Amino acid sequence: MTAFKSSVSLSSVNGGHAKAGEVHVIIGPMFAGKTTGLLRRIKSESSSGRTVAMIKSSKDTRYAKDSVVTHDGLKFPCWALPDLASFQHKLGDDEYQKNLISRVICVYRQLDVIGIDEAQFFEDLYDFCCKAADHDGKTIIVAGLDGDYLRRSFGSMLDVIPLADTVTKLTARCEVCGGRAFFTWRKTSETKTELIGGSDLYMPVCRQHYVSGESAMESTRTVLESFKVPNDSQTEVSAVM
């Protein structure tokens, strides 16, 4: 896999001795810099001579299929997977990967650090972190949304917090008032939890403007229902906050 060449920098294997792993969690609303923080940490670990790999959900195809990409364009090669259980299987314990410059032994047991972006999409996140950190001695850095657009827990992100050595809660900038944004507001009337998009569908907001936006949306629904507008003729209405 050519994309893996930049995300692997082999270091010496730890002499076969058991070592303790770590779990670090980065959470927050959209546009809070979670992916940027993850990439900064992964690049720092790689520069220190540790073997690194990056994973993201194959559901996230917004910018690139085989790279983790921040909203401002920073990129890092990754494995795009439907689940985390397939990661070790894909690497194998004795598989050789070639890059364009040299032959690189790319095996799971030699990895020191694994970054996971958009981690809320992985149903097996808790099990993977347990095994990788507790039994395999890996450092796992997880970044994802802690809450969905309704401020409910998203996927397994909150489940891994009890496993974590550190938890970092980032904030964004409220698009309405410029204050600290803790929540993600969905601009459309779509109600399914997993609706992947960027600034076209979401914006970060503070508590005040999240609540006022909810009130505005509820008022809009009430007005539409009072006029009995048929579903097929309704247009999506974004809240004015």
Active site residues: 118
CB atoms within 10 A of CB 18: 8
CB atoms within 10 A of CB 10: 16
**Distant-in-sequence, close-in-space partners of 226: CB < 8 Å, separation ≥ 6:** none
Place of tokens 């999409």: 121
Closest-CA residue to 143 (of 66, 34, 31, 220): 34
Asked if 208 and 232 count as a contact pair (C-beta separation under 8 A), the reply is no
Do the annotations mark residue 202 as ligand-binding?
Answer: yes
Angle at the Cα of 118 from the Cα atoms of 179 and 61, rounded to 5 degrees: 110
Alpha-carbon distance of 135 to 39, in angstroms, equals: 25
Q: Which positions make up the binding site for substrate?
A: 202
